[in-house]
Structure formats: C-alpha cells, structure tokens
Structure 1
Amino acid sequence: MKFRSFGIGIFIVCLLLTVQVCSAYPTGDYSKVLILHLTFSNGTINDQSVEMQYGHPPTLGFQTGNIRGTLKTSGGVVLQEFDLSDPRYQLSDEGVLTYSDTADFTIVVPYYPGEMSLDLTDTSTGTLLKTVNFLGAINQFQVKYPNDPDMVTNPGTQSLVAGPLPVSQPGALGSVMTLLQATMFSSSVFLEAAITIWILRWITEKRKQKKPVVLIVDDDLLIVDAMSTYLNKKGYATLKAFSGKECLDILKIRIADVILLDVLMQPMDGWQTLEQIKKNPVTRSIPVLMLTGKELTATEAKQYNLQIDDYIMKPFKLADIYTAVDNILKEKQKMMETLLLMKQAGIEREKFCEFASLTRRITINKKILEILDVPQASITSANLDALDDMLVVDYINVKTSINEKRVEELQNEINTTLKSKGLPELSW
C-alpha cells in the first residue's frame, strides 16, 4: 500500500510539473526547418546554400539508401539519424535508372534549438562525405525573427545559444520534450533521473519505428480520407493534398516514398502534375500510381508510360491500393539491396541499373496493355482513332519485346560473373 501511494505521488508530481511547464510557453506553431541545397561531384558533396525558414518538419528515416544523415548538437549529441537514397542514381525520362558522378539534391531537416550540424556518411564504405554546420543559417533566421520563442541571444555575443525546448515538436514528442525540461528543473534528483531515462528510451523506440510515407493527391475529400485512414492502419504514414499545386508545394518540404495521384483534377490535372514531379530532379524518382475513373487512352499510354508505376481504375478496393503500394516499396527495397550485392561482386553498376530499370518497365507496360485492351480491327472497318490506338499498342508491344531480349542478355552476363565467383545467381 505504501509503495502504491508513493507511485501515485510521483505521478501527481509529474502531472503538475507538466501542466506548469506547458502553460509557460506559447501555443502557436513555431515549426522550423533547415533546407540544404547540395551538389554531389566526383564522390564529394559541396554546399550550394543552407537556409532556415518556417515550415513543418519532414518525416525523416523512412527512406532506404546508402547515405546516412546524422543531426548533432555542437557538443556531438546525436539528435536524429536517417537514411537517404543516393542522388547520383536517377530515373531518366525514358524510365532507365542512370548514374552520374554529378548530381544536385536537396535535404530538409527539422530544427532543434541550439547549434546544429549534419554529418553525411556513405554507409557502404563508412566514409564521411560532408559535415554541414547550420550556425550561419540559424543566426540569419534569428536576426530576421528575433522574437521567435526558440531564438535566444547570449548578451555580449552574436552566437546563438540553446533557448527553450521547441514548441515546434509535434504531437506526443513535443509533450515528452516539455516534460523532460520539467524534470531538469525538478528539486528531486531521483525523480529527474528516473523520468529522463524512461523518456529517452521511449524516444529511441519511437525513432526505430519507420513508416513509409504515401502522399495522396485527389480533389475528393472522402476518397483521400478513406485511403489515408486505411493506409495508416496498414502501417504507412500519409500526407494529403487536394490539388496538383498543393501536391507540388508539399513535395518542396517533404519527400514521399510513393505518390497516389488522381488524374481528373482542376485546374492542374494529374498528368500535368506528373510532368512537374518528373521534371524536378529531387522528386523524379518517386514512384507514382495514377488513380482515376477515366479509361486510359492510347495517347496517354504512349506519352506517360515511362513516367508512371501503376494505373488503378476507380472504383477500387482499398486493399488493392495497399497491395500496389506495398509491391512498389518491396521492389524498391529489393533493388537497393541487390545493387549493394552487385557492387560487392564487382558487377558494373550501369549494367545492373539497366537490368533493373528494363525489368520494371516491362512489368508496367504489360499492365498498361491490359488496361488499354484495344481490339484488333481490319484496315477497312477501323476508323482513324482506332488505327492510332492499334499503332500505340503495337509500339508498346515491340518495345516490350526488345526490352525482354535485352533483359535476358543482361541477366546472363550478370549470372556468368556471379557463378564465376561462387555466388548465387540473380533470380528476378
């Protein structure tokens, strides 16, 4: 009974401290992000620009790749770790995965009060590629917004020092960090240590729970909410956009793993939005699934077949959406893992990238041909539109056949090298 009373007493103290500290800070949205524009050149990463601005922190840690990002304080304490895809590998306009020693890319990270830096490391070799210091960008932001609650200047100096805990911490994590500050000022050292240890363990476990991010774009609110709710239950994090412009705006600060994109939207339709996504080197490699109640035309198939990863007709079952997203992410993960194995085996990266891209292209083209389902007609009875459709189908069939032969050649070459080194053959 005494132990239970003691436990209840600790709970009440924690609750009072939390309420007191939470009420001491403003409730406005002061979320901030740091945006890095970088260049990869001959194995070296160079700064182009670093800026800080108001915005919601992106969801980091959901991507896979061989570049590890580590956010740290000036004292070397790790704030957050996440993985990035290598920006030197990109999908070309023809749908082929290409490699270039030079590549521009952007990273958006959340701001934590105090001095911060970011280490970028090649996990395959353990090489430190770049350390980016954010102090200059933070100080510029502080000059511009001196009254921001996270900005506190140490009198007599121009350097930034740690201010109050970030109001920008979203949801439960923000509450936990506020509670952490409360324990720091608690008179009970025992209570401070116990709660701090529990909180740090809780945060560590939360960071281990990585969820792929799906951006849902549709002007039908009910459809977006239904897909979001279903995918959340299936373990995905979701972002919502109700127009093409809103989709592009979100992608400026948050990179999704998959995009579900409706075709029939106004004023910017899905195809126009898709073109903008694929023009941007930062977003062009994101898989896009087109959603629509409109039949796919032969013209659209010919123009966009290299840019889409699936085409799903409405009405659809939510389970079908989940399956399509899950398949794409599994294929992406499989390709990245196999790419590392190929590198270790000494297989030319360009050869495997071509093999993987053509394999993906064949699968998508076959799906498009099933959707088109253009009947064969005689020259005498067919109208011009039907003949055009037939020509598109023939074109896709020919390209698919050529790609299949090339894939077979590449697979034989790769397997020959693997067998010579006593490694298992590629079985895609």
Structure 2
Amino acid sequence: MQKAILLMITTKYSYHTQISKTSKLPIQQQSLVALSIRLSSNEASFQTKPYKLHRLESGPSTNISVTRNDALDYYRKMVIIRRMETAAGNLYKERLVRGFCHLYAGQEAIAVGLCASKDNEDAIITSYRCHAWTYLTGSGISQILSELTGRRTGNVYGKGGSMHMYNKNFFGGNGIVGAQQALGAGLAFAHKYNKKKNVSYTLFGDGAANQGQLYEVINMCALWDLPCIFICENNGYGMGTPADRASAVTDYYTRGDYIPGVWADGMDVLAVRETIRWSREYCNAGKGPLMLEFATYRYSGHSMSDPGTSYRTRDEVQQMRKTSDPITGFRDKIIAAGLASEEELKGIDKEAKKEVDAAVNIARTEPPLPPESLYCDIYHNTPPQYVRGVTLDESVVQKHCRTEDLMKSLGLNA
C-alpha cells in the first residue's frame, strides 16, 4: 500500500494516468491515495475536447496544465458569479431591480477563462449580459448588485442598471444588440495606432452574429491587421429563437470567412483559458483578427421577463446542468486530480454565499443618489450651468458636473 501511495505522490502528473492507477486500488487505499495527492500535488494536466479550426493549420493545445492555486481561484470566481446572478434574479423578483436584467448563469467558464489569460491593458467589450465581466474587471459584488437596485454604491452610482456597467479597460455593457462589435474593432484600432501589444476582446451572442455591422468591421480588421478577437458566446438561443432557425450556418467560428476561426468548449474554463492565451499570441504577432466560438448554455431565460420554457423544455435545461455544468464539471476534475478536497471546495462555497449575502444586504439598504445627481455626468469638463425647467422657478443651478464631486460635497464616499 505504501508503494502505491508513493507512486501517486507527485508535483505534476497526467490526470488520466492518475485516475487509472488509483481506480485499481481497494477503496480504503484509494482514500489514502487521494489524501496523499491533496497534500502534495501542485499542478495537474487535463485533456480538453478537440478544437475545430477554420483557415488554421494548428491551434490551441488540448493538453492543459493548471496549478492548485489557479484551480481554486477559477472555482471560487465561478461560484461567486453563479451566486451573484441567483441573488440578482431574486432581487428582480422582489421588484427591487427596475428595467432589464440579463443573467449569466451557465456561461461562467467563458468570463473566468478569458480573464485568466488576458493582460490588464487589453480591452473587453460585451453585450447587455455583463454582470460577470464587471465583477472580473474590478468591481465588488455589492457594487454590481447595488447598481441593479439603483443605489449610490453601485458600479456607476445606480445610473446604469443591469446593462451599463464599466471599469478600466472594460467598455460595457451595451444595450443594443451587436452595437459593441464595431466599438470593439475601434478599440483594436486604438491599440495598433498607439503601438500597444494589446488586443480587443469583442464578445457577442449567437443572436447578434447575423448583424450586418459585424461583417463590415471584420473586413476593416482584416484589411488593417487589427488585434481584434471576435468572440461568439453561442448559448444556442437568440432570445427565444434556436440558432438553427435564425442562422443558415451555425458554425459561427467560420463566419469571418477570410479570417481564421476556432471553436472551443465554452463550458470548460481551461479550454477557454488556453484558447484565449493562444489567440492573444496570434494577434500580437501581427497576424490580424480571429473569430472564436465558445459553445455554452444559459440556464435562465433571455432576460428575467422570459421564463425560458416556451422554446425549450425543462428536461433540456436539467440535462445540461447534469452533464455540462462548468462549475460542477471543474469541481469534479480538480477533486479527482487531487488539487483540492471536497471539504475545501465546500468551504469556498460557504464563503461565497456569505460574501453574496452581505452584498445583497447593501443592495437593499443603501440609499439612492440625491435628486440633484440627475444633472451630473451630462457634459464632461464644462463649467456648472443653469438647467432650465418648464418655468423660471424650476430652473436648477448645476453645482457639480460629476456625480463623484456631488458625493464628496455631501460627505459621502464616492
């Protein structure tokens, strides 16, 4: 038994080899082996699903290594995003969230995997389904949930709501279907113009893949060799329309035609991370744009007003949760590989719940901005102005041009 345990102790090993060797031991010895691995393993290798390539002779590696620390970090972030989105849905049902609310549950691996490989100076721009991206680019959970409930502690002081959140080098959050595609190309142009070794990650859904402006900017990016990585998050449905009813060709990674493309499993955080790492190197080598497609799935409806059951069955959703969930799948892999114990991950789950619950309390109780904030953030770097009302008595003197300055004048934290 001791020889078997020693055989399994390593700092870097193949996941498949580990499992095959362990499974041949009696059950009591398997538990001891698992304990030994957890105490000593710092890195493990995993095999991803094969990629599909368009106009490429080679692509990302299917054999991917991950350290224990990184694995725990990815797991924690995906769990927090899932819990945060659940909390957002509950706040909406309580009528504390006004306007639209689009949830990201089921697609967490794409956001976490991409942000694991990006450079801090890379640009990200996405659609209205932007809560996870806001969190991963620097905002706290309470800032996101407070933004949904219109509180002054929100990401943009409660003025943007679900679809319009921003951070440094994160350009939203865009409410119009496909509007971010041209803006993302512009960000890539800025990187090249300023001679920066950075890329623009321009994300959109399969529903926006048929927008005409996408093909215009693909042409411009190819013509000028811009470092733009177009990313189609294909969750199978554009609002309530299945992809094959809206698109003559559903291989979205080939949509660029004359620019190369890669299909990858968007439910595998490591596959996403490796695809982004490879794509970033490709673009920074001056080879021009790429078209990526990440196959994924959203558990909720298109928005909170959509129950998501009129165009798909509950059995379909449950089957995806059971067989392809990005969090459960990653959890099972890192436990089996000895990078973490079940108890350890339960502890992360518990801490994530505590963090989200605390953020929910802030989103419920913080006050909104004072009414005079309506006149802030309208113009940039201009002197205070009179804002005319219907009558002279309703005219307002705008004392502050920025919400941040107004908050400070009231003794509030900006």
Confirm or deny a common fold (TM above 0.5). no
Structure with higher Rg: it is 1
Q: Report the structure, 1 or 2, having the larger strand content.
A: 1
Specify the TM-score bucket, using the shorter chain as the normaliser. under 0.3
State the TM-score, normalizing by the size of structure 1. Answer: 0.23
